[in-house]
Structure 1
Amino acid sequence: MSMSQQRPMGSIFELEFPQSVGIYSSYADAQKAVDFLADEKFEVQNLAIVGTELKSVERVLGRRTWSTVLLAGVQSGVSTGLLVAVVILIFLKPANFLLLLLVAMVIGIALAMAFGALGYAATRGKRDFTSVTQTVATKYEVLCEHKVAARAREMLLQLPGARAAAFE
């Protein structure tokens, strides 16, 4: 691709007049379709895989209580204290590293427990659990530049299992 044919960096995710050439129930299936087109020497730079019908999934990991909040503060404080002690060791070369390590960990634990307790108290029992949230697509659509979309559709009909999937 010559410099005159390259797209400006801001439009790398944009296609001109995109058309759908396939809808798949998993990202792996959409990727398999694009890989098949690549193997068949199709100009895959004309394609995009787009996750559609997004949903938010929140996985509850456990219950939050005062003991779990304070224990998390201890764990966070230990790692923060170790990090601070190592940085001070590198730059200041203290005479008594063990004392520095102990003081840094005590301060780190105290601060992390205090901030954790304040945050938990502020929720007033409205969210007594921990969780992680992820946005996931339920379908994946392969889009193609309009000028080569018909050819891509024809080629994808040769993908093993494609004809049977068309009747589902």
Structure 2
Amino acid sequence: MNNGQRKFGRMPAAQEQGEVLASFGEYTEAVALVEKLVEANFPMNAIAIVGKDLKTVERIRGRMNYGKVALSGATTGAFIGFVLSLFSPVPEGADASSIAVSNVIQPVLIAAGIGMIFNIVRFAMARNKRSFVSSSMVMAKEYEVQVPSNLLAQAKEMAAKPVEGA
């Protein structure tokens, strides 16, 4: 039992159902109202934006194959190798070409190879291997701005006032 404590620090605390101050079709409209209330010194911890009728939208970004996986791993590895080469000591009495080869090019190529192999193995062993890359987001059909019942009248009054300086 967690005795009412939140399991994750960034997770918002469950708020009791408040009264609906306003409903919007776009999230940005709900945020604009919240900004207006906060500017009017309404207690911000008493405001909640609640999404209704949630759906997940997954956008396909491109195809995924072993070539792209290998290139991605090599690029990441090369960058890591370059960053590590910046911290390697320079031998005394060495000329510029030998420093470039031993301190920059070798670590970049070795790290690129390791990154490529690592990414290929990881892709080959993936259980849910798909032939495409996608990104997903949660969207709502409607966004409600809610406040506690005892602050509803105050919130309505503040929301009705014109913004100062506008």
TM-score, length-scaled by structure 1: 0.68
AA aligned opposite 1:94 = V
How many residues end up aligned between the 2 structures? 146
Identity %: 27
How far apart in 2 are the matches of 1:23 and 1:83? 50
Amino acid at match of 1:59: R
SS at match of 1:131: strand
**SS of match in other structure, 2:81:** helix
CA contact (8 A) 1:54 1:138 kept: yes
Residue 125 of structure 2 corresponds to 122
Name the CA distance, whole Å, in 2 between partners of 1:125 and 1:19.
Answer: 43
Q: For the structure 1 residues 97 and 132, does the alpha-carbon distance in structure 2 shift closer, same or farther, using more than 3 Å as the test?
A: farther
Q: Which residue of 2 aligns with 1:47?
A: 47
Gaps of 5+ in 1: 1-8, 161-168
* Structure 2 partner of 1:62: 62
Question: Which residue number in structure 2 is paired with residue 5 of structure 1?
Answer: none
Go from structure 1 to structure 2 and tell me whether the alpha carbon gap of 1:63 and 1:17 turns closer, same or farther (over 3 Å shift). Answer: closer
Counterparts in 2 of 1:94 and 1:144: CA distance versus 1, 3 Å: same
Q: 1:117 to 1:14 in 2, by over 3 A?
A: closer
Counterpart for residue 148 of structure 1? 151
Residue 109 (structure 1) aligned to one of 104, 107, 112: 112
The one-letter amino acid of 2:50's match is V
In 2, Cα distance between equivalents of 1:155 and 1:70: 57
What's the CA shift for 1:138?
A: 3.2
Gaps of 5+ in 2: 1-8, 92-97
Residues 56, 139 of structure 2: 8 Å contact kept = yes
Counterpart among 87, 90, 97 of residue 94 in structure 1: 90
Q: Using the TM superposition, give the Cα deviation of residue 133 of structure 1 relative to its aligned residue in structure 2, in angstroms.
A: 2.3
Q: CA deviation at 1:65?
A: 1.8
Question: What is the match of residue 22 of structure 1?
Answer: 22
Q: More helix per residue: 1 or 2?
A: 1
* RMSD (Å), alpha carbons: 3.3
Distance 1:124 1:13 in 2: 34
